[in-house]
Structure 1
Amino acid sequence: MSLDVTRAELHLHEARQRLEHARTSRLAQLQALGETAQSADDHLLSEQRTAMRRVLKEIDEAFARIEDGTYGICLGCAKPVPAERLEILPYTRHCVPCRRHAT
């Protein structure tokens, strides 16, 4: 096995670990939001639940990109997303410049 293959496998293993951590954290947050008592802030809680579900979907999509070999490739420009960005936001689909253009 070549050193490049080993590095790539290690990179994907680390990405999976970061994604699992992100998923676990978001599921715990979603559960905590579900246990929050009903109040006048129901709209805010609903928005937070929606945001958590959206992130969980993005995490699932990132796992799919790992499986199909496109993880770490920007969907906007098709260039590699910098490793630093993937460490901070492992489920990101875009590099920073493409994300800025998308908003």
Structure 2
Amino acid sequence: MSLDATRTEPRRDRPTSQEARRRLDHARGTRLIQLRALTDTGQTVEDHLTSAQKQSIERVLKEIDAAFARVEDGTYGTCLGCAKSVPAERLEILPYTRHCVACQHRAT
């Protein structure tokens, strides 16, 4: 299929719950592999860089779990800041995101 081909199917505002779960499962699996690789390096927790990486991965895993909860309660894909739909493109890149880009910028 060429890059300039037109799309024949309409674009949805949000992924289906099945698509969201699939993306979240993939994101979780990737982070668990990264965490396992860090653990297998044999470096101690005192290593500042390793410790920071582990904390970052664990934080994302918690965000993924929270996203699964939002899928279950029907709020997945809704920005927690402004209550508007998070663009599907953003959810493809960050399936566990809680905010649209504008609200994320305001939060940081």
TM range (shorter): 0.7 to 0.9
TM-score scaled to structure 2, two decimals? 0.83
The letter for the 2-side match of 1:71 is: Y
Considering only aligned residues, what root-mean-square deviation do their CA atoms show, in Å? 1.7
User: Structure 1 stretches (4+) deviating beyond 2 angstroms?
Assistant: none
Q: TM-score, normalised by structure 1?
A: 0.87
Equivalent residue for 2:16? 11
Q: Which residue of 1 aligns with 2:34?
A: 29
Question: Counterpart amino acid of 1:82?
Answer: P
The C-alpha deviation readout for 1:15-64, integer Å capped at 9, x for no partner, is 1100000000000000000111227x810000000000000000000000
Work out the CA distance in 2 between the residues paired with 1:79 and 1:57: 23
Secondary structure in 2 matching 1:38: coil
Any stretches of 5+ residues in structure 2 without a counterpart? 1-11
Could you tell me how far apart the structure 2 residues matched to 1:38 and 1:21 are? Answer: 26
Question: Higher helix share goes to which structure?
Answer: 1
- Higher relative contact order, chain-length normalized (CA < 8 Å, sep 6+): 2
Alignment gaps of 5+ in structure 1: 1-6
Please point out which of 60, 81, 87 is paired with 1:76. 81
**Corresponding residue pairs, total:** 95
Aligned mates of 1:97, 1:79 — CA distance in 2: 11
- Out of 88, 91, 96, the position equivalent to 2:101 is 96
